[in-house]
Amino acid sequence: MSSERETAKAAFLETHGFGDVRRENLGGDASTRSYERLRRNDGASFIFMDQPPALESVVCPPGATEAERLALGYNAAARLAAGSVAAFVATADYLRQRGLSAPRIFAYDVAQGLAVLEDLGDGLYATLIAEGQDERPLYEAAVDLQVALHAETPPDVLVVDEIHWPLLTYDTLALKYATDTFLEWWPQFAGIPAFSPEAVNEWDALWAPVWVRGEAGASVFSHRDYHAQNLLWLPERDGVARVGLLDFQDALRAHPAWDLTHLLQDARRDVSPELEAAMLDRYLAARPDVEREAFIADYRALAASNAARILGRVFARQALLGRRQYEAFMPRTWRYLERNLNDPAMGALKAWFDRYVPAEARR
């Protein structure tokens, strides 16, 4: 970290009454964010989020054309928030207004990319389950939270203080651009030839109906990265507030299946087919207005699209950049992808993968 950035962070903390805290580095993730835990002398603790704005490309302006989004880069095309503190603050407020456990925001500076947040603790779903806690009640609460969120139509703009953050739609371009990263990154990682123009054209034609259905069904608030490493268990709270929420700044209006695909086909931990089926049943039982067969078809198709995105943009790209730890998650993600492709409705896409990505290149 540059001395200039550290000076700015120290000044921000001093200005907002956190100048005398003890700071503990918590590291970051695959993004450009980093975190610290702040400890005050009275024992209170907080989380300090650092998202240098200059490290990300620009976000999607409301009303931008497809050509404009593509010209602006990945964040605009895929409708990602680029770690925006404005997005985080506005989304946290929206969730908290609904009685959900997003962190309270104690101080923030959008221009500098800094914020002090409520410390929701260390009880990550992934950690607790790995330590032996029964996973089923945790997943049931996470599914019930989805039901609660999906009971209302989200606004077009999230507003808090001076922030007006647009809640854009996870549209066909965003879905396509993200899924297509498999074409870009997987051959480089797996050491297979780049896909031919014919293969790419066939890919586009096969996925197009999936992306169109994803946009057509985009009707609910979507966390967008809803999985066991972004959920915290808060057993002292009640109902769906027992689920603590992290890393939601990329939220969009999306298909109601979208967050469930992340939760129930978690690339970083095994979710059994039996638990997946039980949780889908729980969700659909709570929403009797949803037509089951169509929902499951969309769920399988969007989950396949998401698995291709994760294998390309997240795991292969990160591994090629030297972050080899992501390779450990690839076999699981391939298993999820193949599970989805075994749906008879996905037969043509299964044939594409069988033709162009041999078994030895799925690792």
Give 224-273 pLDDT, tens digit per residue.
999 999 999 999 999 999 999 999 999 999 999 999 999 999 999 999 99
Cβ-proximal residues to 211 (8 Å cutoff; 6+ apart), any chain: 172, 175, 176, 179, 305
Does the pLDDT value for residue 27 go beyond 80? Answer: no
Query: At residue 28, does pLDDT exceed 60?
Result: no
Mean pLDDT of 89-107: 98
Q: How confident is the model at residue 127 (pLDDT cuts 50, 70, 90)?
A: very high
Whether the CB-CB separation of 326 and 318 falls below 8 Å is answered with yes
Q: How far apart are CA 9 and CA 113, in angstroms?
A: 10
Radius of gyration of the chain (CA): 21
Question: CA torsion sign, 13 to 14 to 15 to 16?
Answer: positive
Q: What is the number of alpha carbons within 13 Å of residue 105 lying toward its C-beta? A: 23
Contact 146, 256 (CB under 8 A): yes
Question: Model pTM?
Answer: 0.94
